[in-house]
Amino acid sequence: MSDRQEQISDYLLGELDATARADFERAMSADASLAAEVRELSDLVTTLDSLPDEVWLPETPPPFSLAAARQLDASDETRPNTDRTQQPKKQGRLQKWFADSFAVKPAVAFAAVALFFVAGVGVGTLTGGSDDSSSPLTATIQQAQLSPVGVDDAAATGVADVKKDGSVIRLKVSGLNPTDDDKFYEAWLMDENNGLVAIGTFRVEENGEATLDLPVPVGTDAFPIVDISLQEVNGKPEHSGVSVLRGTLN
Amino acid sequence: MTPIQQTEPRRIDPQLLASLQRGDEDAVEKLYAEFGGTVFGYLVKTLGDRGAAEDVQQQVFLEVWKRGASYDPQRAGLLTWIMQIARSRAIDQLRKRIPDPVDIDEQTPTDSTTADEFTSEMHDKWHIAHLLKQLPSEESDLLRARFYEGKSQSEIADETGVALGTVKMRMVSGLRRLRELIDSEPTHESTA
């Protein structure tokens, strides 16, 4: 029985040699129920083979607020429809609603630095906090060693590996201070003019470690600097100005 | 796309169902916790614009809350129902705007595939993505290693230290279980 299961798996995944494949197909022709099951699973294998990579990289959704959604809904009803003449938005109105609703004066002197905010969407793909070295993605095509920026996280370190066709960054950090409920870390890509693109948010437990797969929405040649900031939960999507780790992709 | 059999939708927590039908905000928060990531991933991929996806995400779950009283679990599972709302709002969003000048990748709508077709195709794929999360971890990890990372069964066995025969058995059981989940939560509402 187990041999038959293994043959089914090998057949479905194309791992039988020609002779074994012919034998298995003869067995299927003599067993209608086996043939039906293999056909059904074969359709599923085809579907799984066609899934885009993003399906396997779970998204962390933005925070949901029924009040915010209602307000956006109400504003839609009163706004003339001009979308046909607009370019796609780089910043969601949800973000703007949060920013407008939680107007907090910038508290960090770093804000004086003219950071050009390109697409500050403070949400990314979080795949879990465990070190997943047993299931690596494909080869690293660029890497950045991350070093501490300030004194608060002087023991922190990290590495950012650009994987696959440049569409994913695997970020591994350690030695970071654990985050309270009112703080979180955010990963950014930065260009040489301090233009920023947010690529994901995460929290750190007592062990100070996190491993994440983050989608890359821009070219890392143009945005080669990986920056990790400590953010406050205040509804403001901008970089807080408090960088804790930074490195440049080679 | 894999043909989907129309079978009975999976059972839904009766308390959550009652809460949704009463219009409780807690119900939407619970649904958001369970389905928010899948819906958002689908919207980001379909719209190719994270900002727009954030806005549409809010619209989707507002609509879930507004239409909760009329949700019929006999016609569709919650995943099916919510994903169909997401698909409808994604189509609305795509129809509103001019062609996207951003070159995202080859899977975005092109001249040969209409926005509606692309939206439907992605809908079905994210539906399966959500069901993949419901597999036991040893099976979902295996499917991920094979279908995302492109490893052979022998490579998986070598890297994980799991016997090759066990890898193959789990591969078949994972596929079967996923097939059953798809059958119990079809991608489209029953018209019966």
Considering the domain architecture, whether residues A89 and A148 belong to the same structural domain is answered as yes
Determine, yes or no, domain membership for A58: no
What is the CB-side half-sphere exposure of residue B107 using CA atoms within 13 A?
17
Q: Which residue of A has its CA nearest to B1?
A: A47
Task: Give the pLDDT score at A76.
Answer: 54
Residue A60 lies in a domain: no
pLDDT band at A118 (very low <50, low <70, confident <90, very high): very low
Count how many domains chain A has. Answer: 2
Structure tokens at A239: 């970089």
Q: Could B97 and A83 be called an inter-chain contact, meaning their C-beta atoms sit closer than 8 Å?
A: yes
pLDDT for residue B120: 82
Name the percent of chain A lying above pLDDT 70.
71
Whether residue A239 is found in the same domain as residue A144:
yes
* A205 and A150 share one domain: yes
Closest Cα to residue B119, out of B82, B88, B81? B88
Q: Do B125 and A119 touch (CB under 8 A)?
A: no
Whether the CB-CB separation of A144 and A159 falls below 8 Å is answered with yes
Residue A88 CB neighbours (<10 A):
18
Domain that holds residue A174: 66-248
Q: Over pLDDT 70: what percentage of chain B?
A: 81
Domain layout of chain B by residue ranges: 14-97+109-184
Q: pLDDT band for A75, please (50, 70, 90 cuts).
A: low
Report yes or no on A59 lying in a domain.
Answer: no
User: Is the confidence at residue B186, as pLDDT, over 80?
Assistant: no
- Asked if residue B130 lies in contact with residue B35, where contact means CB atoms within 8 angstroms, the answer is yes
Same domain, A125 and A225: yes
Question: CA of A152: how far to CAs of A156, A212, B150, in Å?
Answer: 9, 22, 41
Predicted ipTM of the assembly: 0.75
- Classify the C-alpha dihedral B50-B55-B60-B62 as positive or negative: positive
Q: Whole-number mean pLDDT of chain A?
A: 74
Q: pLDDT tens across A185-235, in order? A: 888 888 877 778 888 888 888 888 888 888 787 788 888 999 998 888 776
Q: Do A15 and A93 belong together in one domain?
A: no
Across the interface, whether the CB atoms of A61 and B36 are under 8 A apart is answered yes
Same domain, A82 and A12: no
3-state class (DSSP) for residue B149: coil
In contact, B169 and B163? CB cutoff 8 Å: no
In a domain, A57, yes or no: no
Whether A103 and A22 share a structural domain: no
pLDDT at A93 over 90: no
Residue A104: pLDDT band with limits 50, 70, 90: very low
Same domain, A122 and A39: no
Question: Residue range A170-174: average pLDDT?
Answer: 90
Q: Is A92 left (phi over 0), alpha (psi -120 to 50) or beta?
A: beta
CB contact under 8 A, B55 and A92: yes
For residues A46 and A154, membership in a common domain is answered with no
- CA-based nearest distance A15→chain B, Å: 8
Q: Summarize the confidence of residues A118-131 as an average pLDDT.
A: 39
Considering only CB atoms, which chain B residues are within 8 Å of A89? 49, 51-52, 55
Three-class secondary structure assignment of chain A: CHHHHHHHHHHHCCCCCHHHHHHHHHHHHCCHHHHHHHHHHHHHHHHHHCCCHHHHCCCCCCCCCHHHHHHHHHHHHHCCCCHHHCCCCCCCHHHHHHHHHCCCCCCCHHHHCCCCEEECCCCCCCCCCCCCCCCCCCCCCEEEEEEECCCCCCCCEEEEEEECCCCEEEEEEECCCCCCCCEEEEEEEECCCCCEEEEEEECCCCCCCEEEEEECCCCCCCCCEEEEEEEECCCCCCCCCCEEEEEECC
Among A32-41, A150-159, B112-121, whose mean pLDDT is lowest?
B112-121
In a domain, A31, yes or no: yes
Instruction: State residue A125's pLDDT score.
Output: 41
- A248 pairs with which residues across the strands? A225
Residue of B114, B112, B136, B116 whose CA lies nearest to B124: B116
A44 and A103 assigned to the same domain: no
Residue A100 and residue A167 in one domain = yes
CATH number at A70 reads 2.60.40
Q: Which class is B14-97+109-184 in CATH?
A: mainly alpha
Report residue A231: phi and psi, to 5°.
Answer: -110, 150
Instruction: Answer whether B50 sits within 8 Å of A66, measured CB to CB.
Output: no
Q: Which residues of A touch B62 (CB under 8 A)?
A: 66, 69-70, 72-73
Q: Reduced to 3 states, what is the DSSP secondary structure of residue B113?
A: strand
Provide the pLDDT for residue B3: 38
B5-63 confidence digits (pLDDT tens): 333 445 678 888 899 999 888 899 999 999 999 999 999 988 888 888 998 999 999 99
The reply to whether residue A92 touches residue B37, judged by beta carbons under 8 angstroms, is no
Residues whose CB falls within 8 Å of the CB of residue A125, separated by 6 or more in sequence, listed in order:
A57, A58, A59, A60, A200, A212, A213, A214, A215
